[in-house]
Amino acid sequence: MWENTKVIRSALEEKIRTRAARVGIVGLGYVGLPLAVEFARAGFSVTGIDVSQEKARRVNAGDSYVGDVPSATLGPLVKSGKLRATVDFSAVAELDTINICVPTPLRKTKDPDMSYIVSACQQIAGHFHAGMLIILESTTYPGTTDELVLPMLSKSGLEVGRDFFLCFSPERVDPGNPKFQTANIPKVVGGCTPACTKMGGLFYSQALERVVPVGSTQVAEMVKLLENTFRMINIGLVNEMALMCDRMGIDVWEVIDAAATKPFGFMPFYPGPGLGGHCIPIDPFYLSWKTRQAGIEARFIELAGYINGQMPHFVADKVQNALNDAGKPVKGSRIHVMGVAYKRDIDDMRESPALDVMLLLKRRGAVLSYSDPYVPGLRVDGMDLESAPEESVTAADCVVIVTDHSAFDYQALVRRACLVVDTRNALKGVNSSKIVRL
């Protein structure tokens, strides 16, 4: 038995070291596609599996739909046969490793929606075999890998740490970040057993610059939740500061810039129109859901969630007040939103606070338009809009900068607009009575 274990382990180690291991990535989205590309670039033969026919088709055509992956990088990898995509899970039978990168959204009740992980694992289990390394990368509550994924794979009769290897490794990608991308962001990995951690670490070290092994899957799961909760709470704190400063007539941006000159013990966070994206507004609620089961209320998370959730309302009030001061009622006013993606220089609309701000203003009777070089059309919640040229600000009663894309011409904007509400301090250093800052 022990001999057999050693054989399975060293065979997989050997395949990984020599890059003969056949790598699988389940879920080819913002996380999965860049990861697939990194392993293909490192010389592995990579198969991406997605439920979306369209994504599989585009990958196989070398046509990237993820901003951080240029088609010029993807295309040659597909052409050389290093990377392919499929919707057929029977490919698992031929694979040695699988990274699971499927969505982990919240249900309407703010409970974790584990259906994507469960469905992916069920599909993998149907073709699972000895000698595989499986790594869950989807952000989730501590305990998921051991309590949910492991039992599904163990039904095969295979034993973890002996016949197969199972880890959790949090994905830390920051879409649109030009400095840190998949390859140079340190990779935390924790396995169900020490042998699993070792195998996971060996695997990532073939394609990524630095691996950080930790003692268990739960630690690795919690690392991600600490990182994202840290951001969410600090953003909540600074948003509350913005509300306080607004009431007291203090410029919150100037306060933060000055505080940031302290060379130790302070890290600047910035206020804004609300939280967006698929991580910060969602992940901390995975933690609070889990801790509630253990009898602990995650009070910081709930409070920061409440304050951050108020910000779109605060922005809508600011716009309405600015229009009132200009002698125009919000009802019937033309409001032009600059930037609708959830953050600068990306095309991702998920949870974007721009949508909340726009809906609130629409409900108050405003006539909306927007410009966003990354989002050509907007068809949600009864809105059906197309991105207008930046010159459209001339015709607006009020312009609201919601997402501060670097492609916008801010000088021209101030020249052309008659009133600007700036929720991002994009007009830092510009002095004009037209500008109302958050």
**DSSP code at position 350:** T
Q: Which stretch binds ligand NAD (CB under 6 A): 21-29, 149-157, 311-319, 326-334?
A: 21-29
Q: How far is the CB of 180 from ligand NAD (least distance, A)?
A: 12
**Exposure class string for 179-193: b at 16+ Cβ within 10 A, else e:** eebbbebebbbbbbb
Contact between 92 and ligand NAD (CB under 6 A)?
Answer: no
Binding of residue 104 to ligand NAD (CB under 6 A): yes
x/- string (CB under 6 A) for ligand NAD, residues 264-293?
Answer: --------------xx--------------
Tell me how far, at minimum, the Cβ of 172 lies from ligand NAD, in Å.
6
Residue nearer to ligand NAD on the CB measure, 106 or 326: 106
- Window of 14-22, 44-52, 303-311, 357-365 that interacts with ligand NAD by CB under 6 A: 44-52
Angle at 73 between CA 70 and CA 77, to 5 degrees: 140
| Per CB under 6 A, 29 contacts ligand NAD | yes
Residue 116 binds ligand NAD (CB under 6 A): yes
Regarding 75 and contact with ligand NAD (CB under 6 A), the answer is no
Q: Which listed residue (96, 163, 171, 390) binds ligand NAD by CB under 6 A?
A: 171
49 counts as binding ligand NAD under rule CB under 6 A = yes
Q: Is 279 a catalytic residue?
A: yes
Q: Binding string to ligand NAD for residues 290 to 329, with x set by CB under 6 A, is what?
A: ----------------------------------------
Structure tokens at 23: 């790598």
Q: Which is nearer to ligand NAD, 9 or 278 (CB)?
A: 278
CA–CA separation, 367 vs 327, rounded Å?
A: 17
Sole binder of ligand NAD in the list 24, 27, 305, 339 (CB under 6 A): 27
Burial of 376 per CB tally in 10 Å (0-12, 13-18, 19+): exposed
Which residue of the chain is nearest ligand NAD when measured via CB? 29
Query: What is the distance between the alpha carbons of residues 45 and 226, in angstroms, rounded to a whole number?
Result: 34
Verify binding: residue 103, ligand NAD, rule CB under 6 A. Answer: yes
Q: Look at the alpha carbons of 324, 326, 331, 336 in this order and tell me if their dihedral is positive or negative.
A: negative
Contact residues for 67 (Cβ-Cβ < 8 A; gap 6+) = 175, 176, 346, 347, 374
Nearer to ligand NAD among residue 315 and residue 349 (C-beta): 349
Q: In terms of CB distance, is 50 or 397 closer to ligand NAD?
A: 50
Q: Report if residue 378 touches ligand NAD, rule: CB under 6 A.
A: no
Q: Are 166 and 153 in contact (CB under 8 A)?
A: yes
Q: Kindly indicate which of the ranges 102-110, 148-156, 300-308, 427-435 contains the residues binding ligand NAD, using the contact rule CB under 6 A.
A: 102-110
- Is there binding between residue 120 and ligand NAD (CB under 6 A)? yes
Beta-bridge mates of residue 168: 136, 190
Which candidate in 167, 196, 279, 398 is catalytic? 279
Residues 123 to 142 in contact with ligand NAD, rule: CB under 6 A? 138-139
C-beta closer to ligand NAD: residue 236 or 276: 276
Q: Which two tokens stand for residue 83?
A: 């990377």
For residues 55 and 31, the answer to whether their CB atoms sit within 8 Å is no
User: Applying CB under 6 A, what is the total number of residues that bind ligand NAD?
Assistant: 27
35 binds ligand NAD (CB under 6 A): no
Phi, psi of 273 (to 5 degrees): -80, 0
Residue 5 DSSP SS3: helix
The DSSP output letter for 166 is E
Through-space distance between the first and last CA atoms of the chain, rounded to whole angstroms:
66
Measured between alpha carbons, how far is residue 108 from residues 112, 285, 313, 349 in Å? Answer: 9, 12, 20, 18
**Position 16 contacts ligand NAD (CB under 6 A):** no
Burial of 11 from C-beta contacts in 10 A (0-12 / 13-18 / 19+):
middle
Nearest distance, CB of residue 310 and ligand NAD, angstroms: 24
- Backbone angle region of 353, left / alpha / beta, with phi > 0 → left and psi within -120 to 50 → alpha: alpha
Closest of 274, 246, 269, 239 to residue 257, by C-alpha: 269
CB atoms closer than 10 angstroms to residue 23: 28
Stretch that binds ligand NAD, among 152-160, 168-176, 194-202, 418-426 (CB under 6 A): 168-176
Neighbours of 195 (CB within 10 A): 15
- Positions annotated as catalytic residues are 279
The residue ranges that bind ligand NAD (CB under 6 A) are 26-32, 49-52, 55, 101-104, 116, 119-120, 138-139, 171-173, 175, 278-279
